[in-house]
A and B are shown apart, each in its own frame.
Chain A
């Protein structure tokens, strides 16, 4: 039984889609760090305003020292704003009752090194006032979820950084929070862990939970976030729907099975009639490294044992909930879990023996094949890869045009 302390009177009404109700409201937020004599030392956050709605995955992006973590710490009441207003669930961030609805994963392991995984989760469960039975149940499920069940009797101090992140993530979810704040959740994690965290974020969003994700790994943000703010110098440089921010409206990509040479030539000729030859690009889509790696590990797990983190490959039962899956979210999950369920891109990818002869293709298209910029096969909606996103971010940060 979940205790009264953890009961959520405003439980997410409609799972899956972001509602218009603001979970976090930040207005004119400014934080100036001062020295011992109270002289201004650094303006970490400068007049920032944004809103985060229930059920959305919200990204905080920016280079080091741009004010992301400071903003998060003000949201948690760990720092006091110099100016501006913060409301979390309509309350002050210092309100203790409000904190029962928040799960927080800091950017580094701030766990007690002398506690083992089980004790760590039990301790944080107690802080939420969970009763013993519920605590034990959640602890077991979370340890299974983050793949630390086999090493749960080892103290956190003995863990690798990635394992510490995993237990940190577990503690952030012990209370089944309505708002999850993840500061660099995939830092130090192996690709399996990164994938699992992204799965988890989407599952949480599917249940109507709100997730704030601060990350340097732009591909992570891109995979899961609905909206994002981009910080630079303590100010917001860009803010809005991620798909609106990233879409290249003057370019189209078509993915299809390999066609006979004549038909291919015909299609290309038709295209070339309207588009300059150097603007048409044809190549074989490649499986991305993440999917490839995950398949290798999946095979190895069946025969090898490990003293490190393992994975139950499933989100904790109490976190999954029983809500029906919304189609939009299904699509997202399918997109990320493509490697496990024979994703579309892999299905359409030619088998080795069917591969198009690159030389012949080059003669047909008169264009050099580019193997390094192939988009992820699991992302049919034309999301740009990490390099492109980085380039885009650089242009945004370097550009004069500043979005509100």
Chain B
């Protein structure tokens, strides 16, 4: 019977002699029992890593498969194991499988490398029945090993060059230990440092500050690393002349450039996964700790106080318990429920993905612009509107009114003057703007003792109506404002300051007035701040409309609810925190992508110090976009006014800075609008559409300019002019 032959790689050590090892194209043993396989071959570090990943994955699976009745019941007892199970289950399972596959694919090469590192010389492969036979036949000279080793090649030929550049970038960061240092810095920054952060003691405050801080730190650390790495990887290769050797090979410069970008971005991706996993786990861990902290606080409160707090928080109502006092075991439960409530608030409000719906609003300005509101229909308002316009003009350009009262000023004549025509002044547009603005403000004001009503359309929530279980949580959120009617500036300022500490008696009717399920809330509210109230699904009409009526119970002061610019909205859960968190990380990756492109674009024609300096300069300018917007809106850099002239003080710098800032803000503001931190820390949804839009704008437009510019410059560069040669 012919014995089946196997393939053996033959190694020779100067002292230990010949050695035969089996190598495979795809090692199933390594795939199935990767940690043990590494242990068997004395690959200690790999074994440790693989066994740790396997351990986490198995623990995650066990946890995920075991029933969690408390979660099903909707009670969020935030114990550690329950809180981190999504982390354990979702996150490591994919990297673990990828790790297994990669190990099985490279098992042969790993073994060969291990032997070579130990001083063995690889002679080639032979095919015999056993390793002993292989050594014996090679030693006797019967069988000559051939360097025709098995190699599984999954990379298509056309992608090999770009893959080689990506691999090279990884190798450089690994050999220069950047990966390890960066991992350490990131983990210290997002895991250890947050422990010294001071929070306001509430779960919401803690989560908000944790997410804001850690996300900004991730962006800062990875952003600067991306710039440094992208500048270095290209500029150093050009300066050290390695690029001359690469350029002599059949790889286009554009491919080299893109390979470098992909290399840096793949490092960013891995670092981002590491950092965001740490943040995710850390946030949940801290929230879980908060339950214990809150419970400990409540344990020291008297039973009476507990009941009082529970009533204030809405955990118990006046009807509950009737005339009978609460039993000790009931108070104990109340304590737990109050602790749960604290954590649940963070979960409902922040560790979630909430969408918002704005109240119905007729954009009058748009209607007039589109001709849907004929001028005749609102012409009676013109005289009032014109008065406002004249007042504005008198403030902005007092010279126009020299010796004339606003009543004597002919607005039509001014609009036809060369001065106004040259400045693009359009009286009709201005009238429409002021008219719409005034109408809008009027719709926001609830006079003393009066009321105001808004409608929200939420047809997407109709499917949940009548189903209490798993129905999304709704919240009405609005900002309350109050106005002091006085023309004396000092009085107005003082009154506004005083008002911040004042509360106003307010009434809220959530739901149609005829709806038996409507909620009536009467509560004193402060101004200049946001208020949130839970909304029951049964308060919605059958068509998904929510009617909100605000009653001003104050007899002295008109109150206003500015409903524009996100100051009034109904928030509802439309997804989980994991999805939102993932999308936020993808937004961060989007930003890292453009930073990497900027770094490479600068390094395409500059030396490393200059390129990194320029990139950091650009980064600072980008971060200053809000300030530039403010300057553009104010019309000048100086923040002071000339009281005599009634004008803003001008500076010579304005003549240069304003046009430059206008251009820069026009370019940057649309790009910087996509900040993941604010949305995530507020628990707001970052939708897939927003994400795609951000990628299209930031990568497609902003990044495209840098990529194309960088490649073009690099393509035309004389590489042999740079560096030591």
Task: Name A residues whose Cβ lies closer than 8 Å to a Cβ of B.
Answer: 3-5, 33, 69, 73, 76-80, 96-100, 102, 104, 106-108, 110-112, 114-115, 118-119, 123-124, 126-133, 135-137, 140-141, 149-150, 152-153, 155, 171, 305
Contact = CB atoms under 8 A, between A and B. Distances in A.
B147 A129 contact: no
Contact of A132 (B153, B250, B720, B725): B153
Given A99-B248, A110-B240, 4 more contacts: A77-B248, A129-B157, A132-B151, A153-B117
Given A133-B148, A153-B117, A126 B161 contact: yes
B172 A114 contact: yes
B392 interface: no
B250 A129 contact: yes
A131 B244 contact: no
Given A114-B171, A114-B175, A5 B718 contact: no
Contact of A96 (B157, B250, B718): B250
Nearest to B173: A114
B724 interface: yes
A129 B158 contact: yes
A123 B164 contact: yes
B148 A137 contact: yes
A96 B255 CA distance: 11
B53 interface: no
Contacts of A73: 244, 720
A90 B320 CA distance: 94
B153 A133 contact: yes
B121 A150 contact: yes
A104 B168 CA distance: 20
19 contacts: A3-B157, A73-B244, A73-B720, A76-B244, A78-B244, A96-B252, A99-B248, A102-B248, A108-B725, A111-B245, A112-B168, A114-B176, A124-B245, A126-B163, A127-B161, A129-B157, A133-B148, A133-B151, A136-B151
B245 A110 contact: yes
Contacts of B152: 132
A127 B164 contact: yes
A5 B718 CA distance: 25
A126 B724 CA distance: 26
Given A110-B244, A140-B124, A126 B171 contact: no
B153 A126 contact: no
B179 to A, nearest CB: 13
A70 B121 CA distance: 40
A77 to B, nearest CB: 7
Contacts of B161: 126-127, 129
For the complex of A and B, 7 pairs with smallest distance between CB atoms = A126-B164, A132-B151, A114-B175, A132-B153, A78-B720, A140-B147, A100-B250
A305 B15 CA distance: 12
A108 B725 CA distance: 9
Nearest to B119: A150
A139 B304 CA distance: 82
Nearest to B116: A153
A96 B147 contact: no
Contacts of B14: 305
B439 interface: no
B37 interface: no
A305 B152 CA distance: 36
A393 to B, nearest CB: 25
B149 interface: yes
Given A99-B250, A127-B161, A133 B245 contact: no
Nearest to B716: A80
B246 interface: yes
A3 B250 CA distance: 13
Contact of A112 (B149, B150, B163, B172): B172
A239 B479 CA distance: 89
Contacts of B149: 133, 136-137
